[in-house]
Structure formats: structure tokens, C-alpha cells
């Protein structure tokens, strides 16, 4: 009989390998000189291979079958086995040849994507993308899917058990919410004043502000740190070593700040797993959607609220003095909540962000169904931007080539961004039932809010799937109506207008 401690030891080995891979990547994005790139990618490949070999180790078949008959396991232990088995099955099912071919195709596609973006020509990217797509289809088949439901394979990889059939109604319900809000704001037609942000804000001062906010929202800087990278991210090198990055632009003082709030939301989640489950799935994130709900919550629900701006105002004014001396918190509140259709997803406000996502979702769905081919994508992209956002990309660089995800083979990833926004709004509504969030935020007293997140979400790790978790936390499945209500409250306050959001479901939620 295999001891539980042996199993934990083996899980730990896998976890240490994963964390070392995370360090290799973190360094690559932050400090590595350009000369390190070649060997670094070889190291990453080698450790991915080691990890794959360890996942496929026949030892696990024995462990999993031996434990499947045991009656003496706690529900947490059973869940660990269940989740690990699911992860492992995905790893084992993909033939090594296919994994290698896909890795090579992805690596080529990265280069092609960069070149295509520089030349603003999708056709330069097309052949490599086609390879990645075709091999991704093979991957879906290997995972047990068919052409008719191949897209579900990719949704499931990022959001366990999510299917097109789950996301379709969410998409249909969220689309008119966003379009309705956008239309009303555009009809109102008076953008907030933002000229005071168009000055030179010293990067040192931006850094001070970012370092200042982290511990105040509860990010433990003895168990993590903030660095700089061209593409901001957060990564976990250990339960007690969570790394965040941001980028600084002296003409965009709040880009770094809201970037840090966003990444800190991810980081707070990772710092919030329970030490007793370290190196097991119970100290891992449920899904990308739930992860994104944490970042969005701190960035938007908290960080862009009027109460937050009021609270941080003396500090922000002080650090950037004299640049903001004649500005009021009301002006800043409106400036950081401007809604405006734009071409680039990563620069979008929270009303239009989901529209960017739905463009990509529609395209991915059609691609996997075989309704369109890859060469149709640029035209489809532009049509959808016109339809959803009322604007047309002037070229491929500002359109279909803006995201790296497809080059990476990360199909099915985008929907999790929208889910994150929706979950965040639902958490906020639930939290309001027991805590007076605006009053706490106005005092800078974030501890009770973080504690609620810890107990309701962080501490569970992957104990529950997202679908189950949202019901446990809020008593309901995921409902876009909370997002609608949140947008209505926030943007009526920002613009001083009445927003006619999707009526019927709104009522039900407010009652």
C-alpha cells in the first residue's frame, strides 16, 4: 500500500519543477539579458520534458488505482486525487510527437507573429498560425473531442468544464448589457476631462505609489515583490514568493498604478492559499476566470471606485505634487473611468472590454466548427469590431494581430477574461450583503474585504470547480445581471446620466 505521504512527496517534486519553470520564465521577462534567450528556451524545454516524464510516470497509475479503492480518505484527499487525475489524463493523452510538433510550431509562430505585426500583414502570420491551429485540432482529438466540439477542449483547458453551451448564453446576455451602456454614454457625448494626465509624471514617483499601495491592500511584500517587464504579469514561485510586474510610462501615470492593482489581485489570490495544502491542487487557482475575477475586483470594483480615489487622494496628490494640486478626486474618478470604444483590447475600459472578448470568442467558435478558415479571420475581425464597437481597425497590427494568444496555441483563453469581469461583479454584490464595502474602502480598511476573499475563495484552492464555487459563495450560478448592475451604478455616478441597462433581469436582481 502506498502511503499518502509518498504521494505528497511526489506531488511536491512536480510542484517544485513547475515553480522552477516559473522562475526561468520570470527571469526571462524581467532581468535576463538578450544573450540569455537561446539557452533559456532550451532550459524551459528540458524542464517541460522532465515534468512531462514525471507526470506520465507509471507510478501514478498504481497510486491512483490503489487510492481509488480506499475508504479512509477525507473529501479533501479525494479531491486532490480527482483533480490530479484529471490534469494527468490531459498530459498522458497527448502523444509526445504531437506535443513536440506543437511546441515547434508555437515557437515558429512567435517569430512569424512578431514579424507580421511589425509589417502589419496577417498573411505573413497565416502559414505558421495554420500549423498551430491544425496541430491544436489534433490535440483536441487526442483529448477525446471531435470536430463538432473541439472548441470545448480549449475552453476546458482554461476554465475546467466550461463548454460553448455554457458560455453562449452568458455571451448573449452580456452583449446587450455592454452595448446598451456604451450607446447611452456615447449619446451623452461628454468625455471626462483628462488633460491633467498629459504631463510628465516621474517614473520614480510612479514606483513609489505602486510600492505604497501593495501592503495597504494586503499584499505581503515579504512574500512577494514587484518588478518591471514589458508585458505585466504575475507568477508564483512559491506560496510565499509571488512576483508581480508592471511597466512605467511617464506620460501615463495611472497605467502602472492600475496595472499593479490588477496584478496584485492575482497575487493576493496566490498568497491566499493554505500552507497545509502547499504543492497540492488545493493550493492552486480554480481557473483562469476565477483568477481574473480577483485581479479585476481590485483593479475596478475597488480601485476605480470613488471611495478609493477619495481615500488615496492625499497620497497621490502628495507623491505627484504639484501636478495634481488643482485637481479634485471627483475629476480623477471620472478620468479613470472614461468609456470609449477603442481598437486595442488591453487598453479597453471595463464597459467595452467584454466586446473585444466577444469578437474573439465568435471567431474562435467559427474556426473550430469549420464555418470559416483562418484566411477569413481578418475580414471577420473587422466586421465584428464594426458591429460590436462601431469602429474599424485601420490595419492588421491594430486589429487581428494585436494578441499573441493564438500564436501560442491558446485558443479558448479569451472567454476567461470576460468571465473574470462577471465573477468580480458577482463577488462584489455578494460581499455587499455582509459588508459595507464603500465605507471600508473610504477608510482604506481593506482587511475585511481581503478576509472575505480569503475565506470564500482563496482558501479553497481547487477544492471546488468554478461552477460550484460561485454557487457556494453567492448562492447562485454566474449571472451577468450583477455585472449589469455594477456598470449601471458605476457609470451613472461617473457620467451623471441614467443608464438603461437590460431591464427585466436587472429588476429580478435588485428585488
Select the residue interacting with a copy of itself from 2, 4, 19, 85 (CB under 8 A): 19
Binding flag, residue 369, a copy of itself (CB under 8 A)? no
Smallest gap from Cβ 35 to a copy of itself, in A, equals: 3
The residue from 159, 160, 164, 263 that is catalytic is 263
Q: Does 319 bind a copy of itself (CB under 8 A)?
A: no
Q: Is 263 a catalytic residue?
A: yes
For a copy of itself, the closer of residues 14 and 401 by Cβ is 14
CA-closest candidate to residue 220, choices 447, 455, 23, 24 = 447
Interface pick for a copy of itself out of 1, 3, 38, 510 (rule CB under 8 A): 38
Q: Which of 1, 3, 5, 34 binds a copy of itself (CB under 8 A)?
A: 34
**Pairwise CA distance, residues 360 & 414, whole Å:** 7
Q: Are 14 and 60 in contact (CB under 8 A)?
A: no
Segment (H or E) for 64 = helix 59-68
The CB-of-292 to a copy of itself minimum distance in angstroms stands at: 24
DSSP 266-294: HHHHHHTS-GGGTTSGGGS-S-HHHHHHH
* Window of 38-46, 130-138, 139-147, 352-360 that interacts with a copy of itself by CB under 8 A: 38-46
Write down the least CB distance from residue 23 to a copy of itself, Å: 6
Is there binding between residue 263 and a copy of itself (CB under 8 A)? no
d(CA 405, CA 327): 39
CB atoms within 10 A of CB 166: 18
Please enumerate in sequence order all residues whose Cβ is within 8 A of that of 432, keeping only pairs 6 or more positions apart, or say none: none
Q: Does 230 bind a copy of itself (CB under 8 A)?
A: no
Q: Which strands form 234-238's sheet, in the order they lie side by side?
A: 224-228, 241-246, 234-238
State the Cα–Cα distance between residues 104 and 112, nearest whole angstrom.
12
Map residues 43-72 to x or -, x wherever contact with a copy of itself holds by CB under 8 A: x--xx--x----------------------
Among 2, 4, 8, 24, binds a copy of itself (CB under 8 A): 24
Member of 2, 8, 20, 183 binding a copy of itself (CB under 8 A): 20
Angle at 132 between CA 127 and CA 135, to 5 degrees: 120
* Least spacing, CB of residue 249 vs a copy of itself, in Å: 21
Q: Which of 6, 42, 111, 471 binds a copy of itself (CB under 8 A)?
A: 42
Rule CB under 8 A: is residue 240 a binding residue for a copy of itself?
yes
Member of 223, 340, 398, 408 binding a copy of itself (CB under 8 A):
223
Contacts of 431 (CB under 8 A, 6+ apart): 437, 449, 452
The one segment of 221-229, 332-340, 395-403, 464-472 that binds a copy of itself by CB under 8 A: 221-229
Rounded Cα–Cα distance for residues 215 and 315 (Å)? 14
Beta bridge partners, 94, equal none
Cell numbers that stand for 219 in this block: 499584499
To the nearest 10 degrees (0 to 180), the angle between helices 4-30 and 59-68 is: 130
Distance in Å, CB of 240 to a copy of itself, minimum? 3
What is the Cα–Cα distance from 439 to 453, expressed in whole angstroms? 17
**Cell triple for 248:** 512605467
What DSSP string runs through 372-397?
Answer: S-GGGHHHHHHHHHHHHHS---SSST
User: Nearest distance from residue 491's CB to a copy of itself, in Å?
Assistant: 38
Give the nearest distance from C-beta 217 to a copy of itself in angstroms. Answer: 17
| All residues at 6 or more sequence positions from 379 whose CB lies less than 8 Å from its CB, including other chains | none
Q: Is 221 in the site for a copy of itself (CB under 8 A)?
A: yes
> Quick one: 187 exposed, middle or buried, by C-beta within 10 A (0-12, 13-18, 19+)?
exposed
* 161 lines the binding site for a copy of itself (CB under 8 A): no
Residue 222 sits in the site that holds a copy of itself (CB under 8 A) = yes
Nearer to a copy of itself, 203 or 404 (CB): 203
N- to C-terminal Cα distance for the chain? 56
Nearer to a copy of itself, 58 or 275 (CB): 275
Output the smallest distance, CB 265 to a copy of itself, in A.
Answer: 18
The residue within the footprint of a copy of itself, chosen from 5, 35, 189, 190 (CB under 8 A), is 35
User: Which residues bind to a copy of itself, rule: CB under 8 A?
Assistant: 12-13, 16-17, 19-20, 23-24, 27, 31-36, 38-40, 42-43, 46-47, 50, 220-225, 227, 237-241
Cite the active site residues: 263
Amino acid at each position: 500500500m502506498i502511503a499518502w505521504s509518498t504521494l505528497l512527496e511526489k506531488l511536491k517534486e512536480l510542484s517544485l519543477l513547475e515553480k522552477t519553470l516559473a522562475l526561468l520564465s520570470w527571469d526571462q521577462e524581467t532581468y535576463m539579458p538578450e544573450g540569455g534567450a537561446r539557452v533559456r528556451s532550451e532550459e524551459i524545454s528540458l524542464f517541460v520534458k522532465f515534468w512531462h516524464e514525471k507526470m506520465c510516470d507509471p507510478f501514478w497509475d498504481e497510486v491512483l488505482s490503489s487510492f481509488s479503492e480506499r475508504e479512509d480518505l477525507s473529501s479533501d484527499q479525494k479531491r486532490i486525487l480527482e483533480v490530479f487525475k484529471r490534469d494527468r489524463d490531459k498530459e498522458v493523452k497527448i502523444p509526445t510527437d504531437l506535443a513536440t510538433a506543437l511546441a515547434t510550431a508555437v515557437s515558429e509562430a512567435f517569430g512569424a507573429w512578431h514579424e507580421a505585426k511589425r509589417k502589419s500583414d496577417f498573411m505573413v502570420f497565416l502559414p505558421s498560425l495554420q500549423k498551430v491551429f491544425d496541430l491544436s485540432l489534433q490535440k483536441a482529438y487526442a483529448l477525446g473531442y471531435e470536430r463538432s466540439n473541439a472548441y470545448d477542449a480549449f475552453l476546458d483547458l482554461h476554465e475546467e468544464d466550461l463548454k460553448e453551451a455554457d458560455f453562449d448564453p452568458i455571451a448573449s446576455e452580456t452583449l446587450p448589457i455592454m452595448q446598451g451602456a456604451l450607446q447611452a454614454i456615447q449619446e451623452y457625448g461628454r468625455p471626462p476631462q483628462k488633460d491633467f494626465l498629459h504631463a510628465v509624471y516621474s517614473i520614480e514617483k510612479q514606483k513609489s505609489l505602486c510600492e505604497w499601495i501593495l501592503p495597504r491592500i494586503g499584499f505581503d511584500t515579504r512574500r512577494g515583490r514587484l518588478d518591471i517587464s514589458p508585458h505585466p504579469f504575475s507568477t508564483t514561485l512559491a506560496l510565499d514568493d509571488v512576483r508581480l510586474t508592471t511597466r512605467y510610462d511617464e506620460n501615463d501615470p495611472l497605467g502602472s498604478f492600475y496595472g499593479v492593482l490588477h496584478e496584485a489581485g492575482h497575487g493576493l489570490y496566490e498568497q491566499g492559499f493554505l500552507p497545509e495544502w502547499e504543492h497540492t491542487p488545493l493550493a492552486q487557482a480554480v481557473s483562469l476566470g476565477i483568477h481574473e475575477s480577483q485581479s479585476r475586483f481590485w483593479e475596478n470594483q475597488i480601485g476605480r471606485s470613488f471611495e478609493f480615489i477619495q481615500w488615496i487622494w492625499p497620497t497621490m496628490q502628495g507623491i505627484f505634487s504639484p501636478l495634481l494640486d488643482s485637481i479634485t478626486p471627483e475629476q480623477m474618478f471620472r478620468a479613470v473611468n472614461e468609456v470609449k470604444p477603442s481598437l486595442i483590447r488591453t487598453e479597453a475600459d471595463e464597459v467595452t472590454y467584454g466586446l473585444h472578448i466577444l469578437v474573439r470568442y465568435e471567431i474562435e467558435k467559427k474556426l473550430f466548427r469549420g464555418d470559416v478558415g483562418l484566411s477569413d479571420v481578418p475580414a471577420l475581425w473587422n466586421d465584428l469590431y464594426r458591429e460590436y464597437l462601431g469602429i474599424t481597425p485601420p490595419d492588421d497590427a491594430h486589429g487581428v494581430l494585436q494578441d499573441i494568444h493564438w500564436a501560442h496555441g491558446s485558443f479558448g483563453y479569451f472567454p476567461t477574461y470576460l468571465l473574470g469581469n462577471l465573477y468580480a461583479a458577482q463577488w462584489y454584490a455578494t460581499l455587499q450583503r455582509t459588508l459595507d464595502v464603500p465605507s471600508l474602502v473610504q477608510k482604506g480598511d481593506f482587511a475585511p474585504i481581503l478576509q472575505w476573499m480569503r475565506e470564500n475563495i482563496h482558501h479553497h484552492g481547487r477544492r471546488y470547480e468554478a461552477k460550484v464555487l460561485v454557487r457556494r459563495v453567492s448562492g447562485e450560478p454566474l449571472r451577468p445581471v450583477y455585472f449589469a448592475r455594477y456598470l449601471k451604478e458605476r457609470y451613472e455616478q461617473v457620467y451623471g446620466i441614467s443608464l438603461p441597462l437590460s431591464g427585466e433581469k436587472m429588476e429580478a436582481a435588485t428585488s
